[in-house]
Amino acid sequence: MNSTINKKVKLISLGHIDYQKAWKKQEKIFNKIINVKIQNRKDNSQIPTENYILVCSHPHVYTLGKSGNEKHLLINKKIIKEKKLEYYKINRGGDITYHGPGQIVIYPILDLENFFTDIHLYLRKLEEATIRTLKYFNIDAGRINKLTGVWVDTESSNPKKICAMGVKCSRWVTMHGLALNISTDLSYFNNIVPCGINDKAVTSIEKETNKKISIDIVKNEIVNNLSKVFEFELINK
């Protein structure tokens, strides 16, 4: 257990960034935090671990989680290359998803020993912060039992996913995170079985509200809600 609790979180905005570059930035921070924890245990020391939230968007890319089924990518590598898309097998949980322009991606790299040691609670809190954010835009969103992420029309026969989630956690340090559709071109989801779920649709904030929505406003709302839900102090870096 981390006896020197640090509930400060550094916010880093990466802008519109290549997926692999953002992944490498995540890995660097993730490994730095884990190395501090290993050294603390080795030396019986109490150096506080840092926490970060990276905010960005990506060019068109499909990513497949470590437990995902490659058959859920419905186009071949030749088409991916022709359309100048990208595809990566990555080290998060979950199946396949899409990232692209008009979507906000949040990567919390937190030492959960600064907060709580429960990965399921962590996912529920990510969902809660997203649900609160969508409420700001008058979107009634919620959860579906046994399906991670945030959905709209949850009580209907045709619920739609608006926010996908997939995380990695090692030594209670997290990486990867959530992707919230704002003005996303949803046709790109037709090339995959999103999150391995073939009987549910996807949607976006703009589709649900029929309004143009500023990504900066969404960013401010979701980061603010994350700070409330996790009860951390936000530091702009």
pLDDT (tens digit per residue) in 133-157 = 999 999 999 999 989 999 999 988 8
The reply to whether 65 falls in a domain is yes
Domain range for 44: 8-236
Taking residues 116-124, report their average pLDDT: 97
Taking residues 36-61, report their average pLDDT: 96
Q: Is the pTM of this model over 0.85?
A: yes
Q: Structurally, how many domains does the chain consist of?
A: 1
pLDDT in tens, 54-67: 999 999 999 999 88
Using CB atoms within 10 A of its CB, is residue 107 exposed (0-12), middle (13-18) or buried (19+)?
A: buried
The reply to whether 77 falls in a domain is yes
* % the chain with pLDDT above 70: 98
Q: CB of 94 within 8 A of CB of 68? A: yes
Mean pLDDT of the chain: 94
pLDDT in tens, 176-213: 999 999 999 999 999 988 777 777 899 999 999 999 99
pLDDT value for 139: 97
Which of the pair, 228 or 237, is modelled with greater confidence?
228
| pLDDT bucket at 1, cuts 50 / 70 / 90 | very low
pLDDT value for 100: 97
Q: Using CA of residue 116, residue 53, residue 230, residue 121, what is the dihedral sign? A: negative
pLDDT value for 119: 97
**Is the confidence at residue 72, as pLDDT, over 80?**
yes
For the stretch 151-159, contacts whose Cβ atoms lie closer than 8 Å and that sit 24 or more positions apart, written own/partner, are 151/200, 152/203, 152/208, 158/200, 158/201, 159/200
The reply to whether 93 falls in a domain is yes
**Is the confidence at residue 89, as pLDDT, over 60?**
yes
State the catalytic residues: 195
The reply to whether 2 falls in a domain is no
The reply to whether 1 falls in a domain is no
pLDDT value for 174: 98
Taking residues 110-137, report their average pLDDT: 98
Taking residues 74-90, report their average pLDDT: 90
pLDDT value for 193: 87
What is the CATH number for 163? 3.30.930.10
Q: CB of 79 within 8 A of CB of 129? A: no
* % the chain with pLDDT above 90: 85
The reply to whether 3 falls in a domain is no
Spatial separation of the C-alpha atoms in residues 63 and 117, rounded to whole Å: 27
Question: C-alpha dihedral over 201, 102, 213, 133, to 10 degrees?
Answer: 70
* Vertex 124: Cα angle to 29 and 12 (nearest 5): 30
